[in-house]
Homo-oligomer: A and B are copies of this chain.
Amino acid sequence: MFSGAQISLYPMTDDFVRVILGAIGALEPYRPHFRIETDDISTLIVGPPEQLFPAMRDLFVSAAGGGIHCVLAATASRGCPGEPDDPICTPIAGSRHDRPLAERIAAALEKVQSAPKTGQNVAAQFSLYPLGSGHHMDEIYGCIDFLKQSGVFDRSKNFCTKLRGDAGQVFATLSEAFLRFGAPEGHVALDVKVSANSPTKA
C-alpha cells in the first residue's frame, strides 16, 4: 500500500522563508523512514501511514512555537490505486481497520487519550474521503462518532469538521481518522488545514 502526504506550511510573516527552513529540522528524526521531495507548492512525504501525522505535528509545532500566525495544509492519502505499492509505506503495526466500526472507534479514542501534549494550542479543519466504496457515508458517519468523543471536537461545518485543542491530541485525532476509517486496503484521502496563533477570534 502506498501512503504519504503533500504538505505546505504558510507562516503569515515577511520572514516566512526563515520560519519554514527553521521548522524543517523537525523532520530530521523521520528522514530514515520517509522519501521527501519539495517543490514551490508543497513537500511530499512518502512512508509508513502511522508516522505521517506525528511528522506533520512536529513540523507544525516547531513553526508555530515562535508565536507567528501559521497554517499547515496537507493532503494525506493511502491505498491510491494509481500509485505503485512501495515497501517504505508498510505499516509498522498490524492494521485493525477491518474490525467493526464500534471497535475501531474505541481503539481510536484510546490512542488520542494517550497522545502526549505539546503545549501548542491549534484549530484544525479537515475532510475525510473514503473513495471507491459504496458505503462511504457509513464510514464518514462512524468517523464523526469518534470525533465527537475525541475531546478536541469543535463543530461540524459544511464539507468538513473542525477540531480545537492541544496539537498532540488534534494531530492524534487526525491520524486515527485517517488510519481507522474507510476500507482496510481501500483508497482514503484526508485534506486538512491546521492553524495556530490566529488574530481572529474563533
By a beta-carbon cutoff of 8 Å, the part of chain A in contact with chain B is 2, 4-6, 8, 10-14, 16-17, 39-42, 44, 46, 69, 71, 73, 75, 77, 80-83, 123-125, 127, 129-134, 136-137, 140, 157-160, 162, 187, 189, 191, 193, 195, 198-202
Contact = CB atoms under 8 A, between A and B. Distances in A.
Contacts of A132: 133-134, 136-137
B17 A199 contact: yes
A164 to B, nearest CB: 10
A80 B159 contact: yes
A83 B125 CA distance: 17
**Of listed A12, A127, A162, residue having the most chain B CB within 10 A:** A12
Given A42-B193, A82-B140, A191-B191, 20 more contacts: A2-B158, A5-B159, A6-B159, A8-B73, A10-B12, A10-B71, A39-B200, A39-B202, A40-B195, A41-B125, A41-B162, A41-B198, A46-B158, A73-B73, A127-B191, A129-B189, A130-B131, A132-B136, A132-B137, A136-B187
- Shortest beta-carbon contacts, A-B, top 7: A10-B10, A40-B200, A12-B16, A191-B191, A77-B159, A129-B129, A40-B198
A202 B40 CA distance: 5
A162 B11 CA distance: 22
